[in-house]
Structure 1
Amino acid sequence: MHMKKLLTPAVLCLGLILSACSSTGSVEEGAGKVEDRNAGAVKTVTPPSSRSQALAALRDPNSPLSKRSIYFDFDSYVVKPEFQSLVQTHGRFLAQNPDLKVLIQGNADERGSREYNLALGQKRAEAVKNALVTFGAREDQVEAVSLGEEKPVCTEKTEECYAQNRRADILYSGEF
């Protein structure tokens, strides 16, 4: 009986050590889950090194995230099909980086009144915002504003130049 009492704590300690060392699932290196007890949700936390890599993608010319202008047809605020994948990429990126925010600046060419161009620029910015939210961004991550005709990238009076000014630009935190 005395021997049984001595073995029981030793066996118990050994069992605890072995169970603590065992793994039943895989954990992606660098990623973790945190339970938000207030909301009852589990959130993925991006470690600083991964976040730095993600932000570097915004400046990498080979990354689709470096492309941040969505162009529109004359007198239109419909996101064209050729820009859907770009908006989708940014929407998913925002979903994966919930601490980031973007400002969408809607622009128009110089044709039309100042008031009309401000309204059109706002509609363009809102169209991009809605698309980003559709693809995973949260409403509170995205702000839409209009610059109207006030920030042209081209000042020549040609159709090619006007087309460059009919756009919405995506600016990330720290760029506005």
Structure 2
Amino acid sequence: MRSVHFTKALALAAVMAIAAGCSSSGSKGDSGALTDTVGASSIGAGSTGGVTPGSWEEVQQLRNVFLFEFDRAVVRPEFLPDLEKHARFLANNPSARVRLDGHTDERGTREYNMALGERRAQAVERVLMVNGANSGQIESVSYGEERPAVVGNHEGAWSQNRRVELRYLSR
């Protein structure tokens, strides 16, 4: 068991080192202010435990929409348990595939939002891979602001539109 935690911690350290080398701290955000949008900084090394989803029915009960803070591509800690379970399901079912749809709210330019949606999908992908999913099982797409979950020009709508949706393509 210690070996599993050590291996997971080692993989996390590698992902964070790569993310740190590839990140662009000081990128211009939706608001025009300089912000940090590093994607992997909140991925936890510790396991949250829980039961590995053993059936398709159990996986369907997991959360599949993961929300983000304004102008951020960091997976929030409350979403890690469900993502870890999705990853374990993928690891135990090599023929299963998922698509990660990255979305943003309407603020910012189209180009910036497409890139931010992509960074969000990649942040979720890193969590899945650190927890056992294979990169060949994961496809990422960014829709930017083009497919809002909630229509509206207020924080209530914007907060629901800053998301990544995890969709199973096959099982």
Note whether the superposition's TM-score is higher than 0.5: yes
5+ residue gaps in structure 1? Answer: 1-52
Counterpart position of 2:155? 159
C-alpha RMSD of matched pairs (Å): 1.5
% identity of equivalent residues:
42
**In the alignment, does 2:166 pair up with 1:170?**
yes
For residues 113 and 102 of structure 2, the distance between their equivalents in structure 1, rounded to whole angstroms, comes to 9
Structure with more relative contact order (C-alpha pairs < 8 Å, separation 6 or more): 2
Instruction: State the 1:56 CA deviation.
Output: 2.4
The number of aligned residues is 118
Taking the TM superposition and a 5 Å limit, the aligned residue runs for 1:130-169 are 130-169=126-165
The structure 2 residue matched to 1:109, chosen from 84, 105, 109, is: 105
For residues 93 and 82 of structure 1, the distance between their equivalents in structure 2, rounded to whole angstroms, comes to 19
Instruction: State the 1:58 CA deviation.
Output: 3.7
Question: Does structure 1 conserve the Cα–Cα contact (< 8 Å) formed by 2:97 and 2:170?
Answer: no
- CA deviation string 1:26-50 (max 9, x = no partner): xxxxxxxxxxxxxxxxxxxxxxxxx
Taking the TM superposition and a 5 Å limit, the aligned residue runs for 1:59-98 are 59=60, 63=61, 65=62, 67-98=63-94
The structure 1 residue matched to 2:114, chosen from 118, 133, 151, is: 118
- Partner secondary structure for residue 55 of structure 2: helix
- CA deviation string 1:3-24 (max 9, x = no partner): xxxxxxxxxxxxxxxxxxxxxx
TM-score by length of 1: 0.64
For residues 162 and 109 of structure 1, the distance between their equivalents in structure 2, rounded to whole angstroms, comes to 5
5+ residue gaps in structure 2? Answer: 1-53
Q: Which amino acid aligns with 1:129?
A: E
